[in-house]
């Protein structure tokens, strides 16, 4: 990872805990210790590592639109909002009612480190705070804030990430077509990746034309991310991945590897990277951060 990406990664990491906040003085002293445990569990999940791919895309998209605007605090709010939504989804996905995983980012999952009820509440709290952050984005007009809230809500709900997870749960143990598999991952993974890009662009003042161009890039790289995930579930190991290797196969989940074979899936990643690169051509050098992230997504080993 380059110095630029590492700087964005650290920028997000430094903002997550402050922007999450802590129990306020409006609560009684008796209630505060109970709330502190919830906030501790939220921070545990947020700070457990991770590549911060979605915040990186937010920063890079803002830079592609306006390098000066990319330095504004509003971009931090957008980047942290997307990471909070992503982390909430991981906490809930790991629950016994979903994937029943005990390892995430190399650490015990939230419901193992704490308990199931706390993990549910952590996800709920992170989701709510993400939208609250977008309504507070400094220097953004009410119209832009509303657009950002609408963007993230659409990508997160039943027509986006949650809908994709519902299809994933229903598809376990069942054979589905390549078309259905692509549709599932466009919702489950791709929608939030596209939203990460759109939030950064919106906060930096993108017009409709630029948003559409970035959306095309986001569709390609969002699908590439999931195909590469499927490859790594077969070709990598638990230590490198930071989660249980082979968990998709153990759960008999449909993947791109089961559909296309390992080499076929790798070839599909290459095709999608080429499509993503083409979509960025109109941005020239300003899109170099996004292009670098695209290559990182497609060539990562964990």
Residue 91 has pLDDT above 90, yes or no: yes
Question: What mean pLDDT do residues 30-49 have?
Answer: 87
| Per-residue pLDDT, 171 | 79
The length of the chain is: 302
| Per-residue pLDDT, 181 | 87
Least confident of 58-72, 231-245, 265-279: 231-245
Q: In whole angstroms, give the CA distance from residue 35 to residue 271.
A: 48
Residue 172 has pLDDT above 90, yes or no: no
Full-prediction pTM beyond 0.95? Answer: no
Is the pLDDT higher at 254 or at 219? 219
Residue 239 has pLDDT above 60, yes or no: no
* Sign of the C-alpha dihedral computed for residues 107, 108, 113 and 115 taken in this order: positive
Question: How far is CA 219 from each of CA 12, 59, 157, 280, 290, rounded to the nearest angstrom?
Answer: 23, 18, 17, 12, 13
Angle between helices 32-46 and 116-135 (to 10 degrees): 80
| Per-residue pLDDT, 254 | 78
What residues have CB less than 8 Å from 271, skipping those under 6 apart? none
What residues have CB less than 8 Å from 18, skipping those under 6 apart? none
Is the pLDDT higher at 163 or at 105? 163
Residue 240 has pLDDT above 70, yes or no: no
Percent of the chain with pLDDT over 90: 74
Is the pLDDT higher at 35 or at 132? 132
Least confident of 5-14, 17-26, 105-114, 191-200: 17-26
Residue 246 has pLDDT above 60, yes or no: no
End-to-end CA distance of the chain: 13
Can you list the domains of the chain with their CATH numbers? Answer: 3-299 (1.10.600.10)
Residue 175 has pLDDT above 80, yes or no: no
Residue 32 has pLDDT above 90, yes or no: no
| Per-residue pLDDT, 137 | 97
| Per-residue pLDDT, 238 | 53
């Amino acid at each position: 990872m380059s110095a630029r990406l590492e700087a964005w990664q650290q920028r997000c990491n430094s903002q997550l805990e402050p922007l999450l906040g802590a129990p306020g003085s409006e609560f009684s002293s008796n209630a505060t210790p109970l709330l502190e445990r919830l906030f501790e569990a939220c921070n545990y999940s947020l700070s457990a590592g991770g590549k911060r791919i979605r915040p990186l895309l937010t920063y890079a998209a803002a830079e592609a639109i306006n390098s000066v605007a990319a330095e504004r605090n509003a971009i931090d709010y957008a980047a942290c909002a997307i990471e909070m939504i992503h982390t909430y989804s991981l906490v809930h996905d790991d629950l016994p009612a979903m994937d029943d995983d005990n390892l995430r980012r190399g650490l015990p999952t939230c419901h193992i480190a704490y308990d199931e009820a706390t993990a549910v509440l952590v996800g709920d709290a992170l989701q709510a705070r993400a939208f609250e952050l977008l309504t507070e984005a400094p220097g953004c007009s009410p119209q832009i804030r509303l657009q950002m809230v609408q963007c993230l809500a659409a990508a997160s709900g039943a027509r986006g990430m949650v809908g994709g997870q519902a299809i994933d749960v229903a598809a376990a143990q069942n054979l589905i077509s390549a078309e259905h598999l692509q549709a599932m991952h466009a919702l489950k993974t791709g929608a939030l990746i596209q939203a990460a890009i759109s939030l950064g662009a919106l906060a930096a003042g993108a017009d409709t034309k630029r948003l559409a161009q970035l959306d095309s890039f986001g569709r390609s790289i969002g699908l590439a991310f999931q195909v590469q995930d499927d490859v790594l579930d077969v070709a990598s190991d638990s230590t490198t991945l930071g989660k249980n290797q082979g968990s998709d196969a153990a759960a008999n989940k449909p993947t791109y590897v089961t559909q296309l074979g390992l080499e076929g899936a790798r070839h599909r990643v290459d095709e999608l990277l080429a499509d993503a690169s083409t979509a960025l051509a109109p941005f020239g050098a300003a899109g170099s951060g996004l292009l670098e992230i695209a290559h990182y997504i497609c060539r990562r080993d964990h």
